[in-house]
Copies of this chain bind each other. A is one copy, B any other.
């Protein structure tokens, strides 16, 4: 059997990760989950894993895992499986963790603070450069080590500091005007928690709308129907 540490052949395969504009959204939405599980495996000290084993851990088919990964080139090795650290790193690269993205959080309310407090950003290689709010008693302070500025200075701050991503936790009413500023200064991505679907004309801006309410409703649907379903089965 081969050494577990050294995986000859894998590292040399493909040095450049190109942009894959043709990969289906379904595949892309699964990548973070793979990344999470591989992170757990690293922490558990596991060095290699087969698609079969990972599949049974994740509750998906081995075929799907192999198919998904092969959208981006061969990360594994026949007869061996996948090197956990290597695969984790590669998926991380695909997901932009090595790009050094810089983010601002707009809105320093409960949700803004909740997001600021997590390690969600650093863990993914994203720097939280600043927070913005209209509340004068917060302006000038720091929240979890992140400086808070007035929203009025958002535009100039983004111009003076390279900012890639904006996290929007402002009230619905403020979202539009904040977005206009962000688009003007060339923001690349907006993570929108304002309770509305943000539409941006500029094609170079990526918007990810979060609708927690939709998730709650889906849960309620399942609760309602699970109960009914189980009741029916008992009869």
Q: Which residues of A contact B (CB under 8 A)?
A: 18-21, 28-29, 31-33, 35-36, 94-97, 99, 101, 109-111, 113-115, 117-118, 120-121, 123-124, 126, 164-165, 188-189, 191, 195, 203-204, 206, 208, 210-230, 232
Contacts and interface: CB of A to CB of B under 8 A. Distances in A.
A168 B36 CA distance: 20
B19 A213 contact: no
Number of this chain's copies in the assembly equals 2
A18 B136 CA distance: 53
Given A110-B110, A114-B111, A220-B96, A19 B215 contact: no
Given A114-B109, A216-B121, A204 B227 contact: yes
22 contacts: A31-B218, A32-B211, A32-B213, A35-B217, A95-B218, A95-B220, A97-B217, A109-B114, A111-B114, A121-B216, A123-B213, A124-B217, A126-B216, A188-B226, A188-B227, A203-B230, A204-B226, A206-B223, A208-B218, A208-B222, A210-B212, A210-B215
A21 B221 CA distance: 11
A228 B18 CA distance: 8
